[in-house]
Amino acid sequence: MNEPILEATQLNKFFRLPEPFQVLKDISLSVQKGEFITIVGKSGCGKSSLLYLLSTLDTDYTGNLSINGSKVTGLNEHDLSGFRNEHIGFVFQFHYLLPEFTVLQNIMIPAMKLGKLSRQQIEHNAMQRLEEMGIRDVALKPSGKLSGGQQQRVAIARALINNPGIIMADEPTGNLDSNNTQIIFNIFRQLAQEGNTILAVTHDKDFAARSDRIIEMMDGRIIH
Amino acid sequence: MTLPVNLLISGTQLLARKRQSFIAMLGVIFGIAMFIFMISFMKGVNNYIQDTMLSAIPDVHIYNDIRTDYTSSVTSIWLRNDPDKVVVVHHPRPEKVRLNLKNASLIISDLKTRSDVEVVSPLLSTQVFFNYGPVQLNGVLDGVNILEEARLFSLRERMMTGRAENLLTADKGILLGQGLADKLNVVRGDQVTLATPAGNSMRFRVVGTFSFGLSTVDNIKAYVSLSGVQQLLAKDHDYITDIRVKLKDINMARDLAVVCRKKYGYKSEDWESSNPSIKAGNLIRDTLTWVVSLTLLTVAGFGIYNIMNMVISSKMKDIAILKAQGFDGKDILMIFLSQSLVIGILGALAGLLLGFLLSYGLSRVPFPQTEFTFMKFFPVVFDIKYYFFGAGFGMLTTFVAGVLPARKAARVDPVAILRS
Ligand SMILES: Nc1ncnc2c1ncn2[C@@H]1O[C@H](COP(=O)(O)OP(=O)(O)O)[C@@H](O)[C@H]1O
Ligand SMILES: [Mg+2]
């Protein structure tokens, strides 16, 4: 293991409503480049909360978070947005594609936002990602016309389009049948082998067993 | 050329719900169209009413007001200015006054040198009885220089029979108001006898009839030459009671009246002061138009506000996902505000076009004709100024109506949405 891509120290998060409640307690965590980590734990133990926090979407916490060697705690909304766009790929439990756009456009949007490549280059990269996901033929379909499994593969392709330093996934198979679950798992493993850094929340013991490291959570703490 | 990604998203979303966007646009279209239509029509009505009411009223009227001067009454002679005596005179009778303007020709030539003056027309007016056979009618006889009078009141367009210039060529010719001629039952070529209250009388030959579309003029007024009235009244050839002025800009009348009053010492009235009801009528119609139009545009604004609010409520997930992918609040604001602006701009342009077409249509609708209307079609004013205002206000409304929901969208907390 060489350098850490993500470094979290002493993260604490409270909910004030409906009643004061500490959802994350003294979380410290370090993710090395190229690591494939799964987070497991009972429902409600704070896995999603932690992921929102690590992905910089949630800024209401105490503690310190650095990604790719730069401190993100305390950055303003604009800078955080730019940071997410460039360095973090997010895959949600519910695929969350933009329904008005084609599959290809959905994948291209984060890259167009980044604005580093030409339109043609972006389109080419997006097609390549679709190819890797094995769904090249649906590129021009409206994203709403796809099956759940296909949509989740598009979401993964979209998360990868800017070559992020770290991919975060919150129960990416939580909403899929076993066949599609298998496909998604295989994709993640493939990505891990290609050297991507992955941080995934999962319920699936098989999936977790194949990762480099398992982080187990309970009542807002990392117990393993 | 590549579209910035925010506009690509905005445009795609807008096109994805064409019907909803179009309905929001309809509100703007109708609001602006009605504004253009109403203001064009109301301005036309204002102009028409003003033109009609002012058709027989000069911009500035200079005359010798009967100023009853009692200081030089017989009492002073009687009392030989004895300061010890106080005299109270009840109901005095003024000395005979002359109503003419003493230095009329000087005033006229002075007025004619002014660059803002279009026409100066002198007048000697008197009450007369018109006699034709057994018919005797009371009326007003105006002695004028017909060429100047014609320019003052556009007489040439108002001639029903004969020509205004006939007064110059005919010996003792007279132009009668159409209503007066009808009542007397005379036509061109007939001779009428005019008698003054003082008892003088003269015969004139009818050389034409005119109509101002105002019964108060057409039923009582007649024109002869200045010298005709001077002879009838047995006055000198420089005896003139009134000077009427037409200005290049009617709105300068008030200022000129003040100048004339100071300079010449005679009563000078501008059309506004002598006809306050014209301005009041304009103001009332204008107010009505603006209130109704602005209400329509505001309602259109609420339409956009409503629809954008609905759109944003249904797009919470999309906003969250965009934010998760690196779009910040400003981007989201742009995406949704630009949708409102597109609706507003397209709606405004279409509204201007529709408003123009409606106004143009109305301007081609024949106006119901009566003997006193000279209007062939409904009065409509086409003024680019109102089109600019309509477009500007329409866009302002859509901007305000769009920015409120868009700001709400910009402030969406993605975590709260992604959790639910
Ligand atoms: N907005 C919120 N306000 C208060 N409590 C919350 C809120 N969101 C989540 N929680 C609570 O925080 C705990 C952790 O939630 P979560 O991070 O979603 O757990 P997990 O993803 O591990 O199932 C749960 O008990 C949940 O009820
Ligand atoms: Mg969860």
Residue A66 lies in a domain: no
Q: How far apart are CA B139 and CA B217, in angstroms?
A: 10
B329–A113 C-beta distance less than 8 A: no
Domains identified in chain A, total number: 1
pTM: 0.76
Q: Which residues pair with B377 in a beta bridge?
A: B366
A44 Cα: distance to centroid of ligand 2 (angstroms): 7
Chain A residue numbers touching B329 (CB-CB < 8 A): 77-78
- Does the pLDDT value for residue A1 go beyond 60? no
pLDDT at site B77: 65
CB atoms under 10 Å from CB of A75, counted, come to 16
Above 50 in pLDDT, residue A132? Answer: yes
Domain of residue A181, CATH code: 3.40.50.300
Say if CB A8 and CB A29 are below 8 A apart.
Answer: yes
3-state secondary structure of B193: strand
Residue from A15, A42, A43, A61 to probe ligand 1 pocket by mutation (most atoms less than 8 Å from CB): A15
Interface of B with A (CB under 8 A): 2, 5, 8-9, 12-13, 15-16, 317-318, 320-331, 414-415, 418-419
SS3 (DSSP) at A104: helix
pLDDT at position B1 is: 37
Q: Is A44 in the pocket of ligand 1 (CB under 6 A)?
A: yes
Give CA–CA dist B279/B287, Å, rounded: 12
3-class SS of residue A95: coil
Using CB atoms, which residue from A57, A77, A115 is nearest to B329? A77
Asked if the model's pLDDT at residue B10 lies above 80, the reply is: yes
Instruction: State both tokens at A121.
Output: 């280059």
Residues 116 through 135 of chain A touching chain B, CB cutoff 8 Å: 118-119
- Candidates A174, A202, A206, A209; CA nearest to A40 is A202
- A7: Cα separation from own chain's centroid: 16
The strand pairing partners of A27, in sequence order, are A11
* pLDDT per residue as tens digits for the range B324-345: 999 999 999 999 999 999 999 9
Q: Has the ipTM of the complex gone over 0.90? A: yes
Which of A137-146, B67-76, B312-321 is predicted with the least confidence, judged by mean pLDDT?
A: B67-76
Question: pLDDT digit string (tens) for B396-413?
Answer: 888 998 999 999 999 999
**Looking at chain B, how many residues does it have?**
420
Mutate to test the pocket of ligand 1, among A22, A49, A201 (most ligand atoms within 8 A of CB): A49
A214–B contact, CB cutoff 8 A: no
Q: Do B414 and A57 touch (CB under 8 A)?
A: yes
The tokens for B33 are 């169209």
SS3 content of chain B, % helix, strand, coil (to 5): 55, 15, 25
Q: What is the mean pLDDT of chain B?
A: 87
Residue B243: name the closest of B149, B164, B167, B154 by CA: B149
In a domain, A155, yes or no: yes
Angle between helices B18-54 and B5-16 (to 10 degrees): 90
Residue count (chain A)? 224
Using a CB–CB cutoff of 8 Å, tell me whether A61 touches chain B.
no
Pairing of β A62-67 and β A4-15: antiparallel
Considering the domain boundaries, does residue A8 fall inside one?
Answer: no
State residue A167's pLDDT score: 94
φ, ψ (nearest 5 deg) of residue B341: -65, -40
| Closest CA to ligand 1's atom 26 | A44
Segment A42-83, tens digit of pLDDT: 999 999 999 999 999 999 999 999 998 889 999 999 999 999
3-class DSSP state of B39: helix
Render pLDDT for B247-296 as a digit per residue (tens, 0 to 9).
Answer: 988 888 889 899 888 888 888 999 888 888 888 888 898 898 889 888 88
pLDDT at residue A25 above 50?
yes
* Residue A48 Cβ contacting ligand 1 at under 6 Å: yes
Query: Distance (Å) from the C-alpha of residue B30 to the closest C-alpha of chain A?
Result: 29
A56 CA distance to ligand 1 centroid (A)?
17
Cα of B282 vs its chain's centroid, Å:
7
The nearest alpha carbon in chain A to B16 belongs to A100
Atom 5, ligand 1: residue with shortest CA distance: A15
Mean pLDDT for B154-161 is: 88
Span B38-60, pLDDT tens digits: 999 998 988 888 887 777 888 99
What percentage of chain B carries pLDDT values higher than 70?
Answer: 93
Q: Quick one: pLDDT at residue A2?
A: 66
In the three-class reduction of DSSP (H, G, I as helix; E, B as strand; rest coil), residue B359 is classed as helix
Mutate to test the interface with A, among B325, B415, B420 (most CBs of A within 10 A): B325
CA–CA separation, A37 vs B103, rounded Å? 110
- Please report the pLDDT score of residue B410 as a whole number: 93
Q: Which of B10, B311, B418 to mutate to test the interface with A (most CBs of A within 10 A)?
A: B418
Domain map of chain B by residue range? 3-54+279-419, 60-66+97-273
Contact (CB, 8 A) for A114 and B326: yes
pLDDT band at B204 (very low <50, low <70, confident <90, very high): very high
Half-sphere exposure of B358 (CA within 13 A, CB side): 19
- Partners of A41 in the beta sheet? A217
Residue with the smallest CA separation from ligand 1 atom 24 is A44
Return the number of other C-beta atoms located less than 10 Å from residue B262's C-beta. Answer: 9
Domain limits at A177? 35-59+76-214
Count CB-CB contacts under 10 A for residue A55. Answer: 25
For residue A15, tell me if it sits in a domain: no
Rounded mean pLDDT of B301-309? 86
Please determine, for residue B175, whether its predicted confidence score (pLDDT) is greater than 90.
yes
Burial of B231 (C-beta count, 10 Å sphere; 0-12/13-18/19+): middle
Ligand 1 site, residue A49, Cβ cutoff 6 A: yes
pLDDT digits (tens, 9 = 90+) for B339-395: 999 999 999 999 999 999 999 999 999 888 776 666 788 999 999 999 998 888 888
At B73, the pLDDT band (50, 70, 90 cuts) reads: low
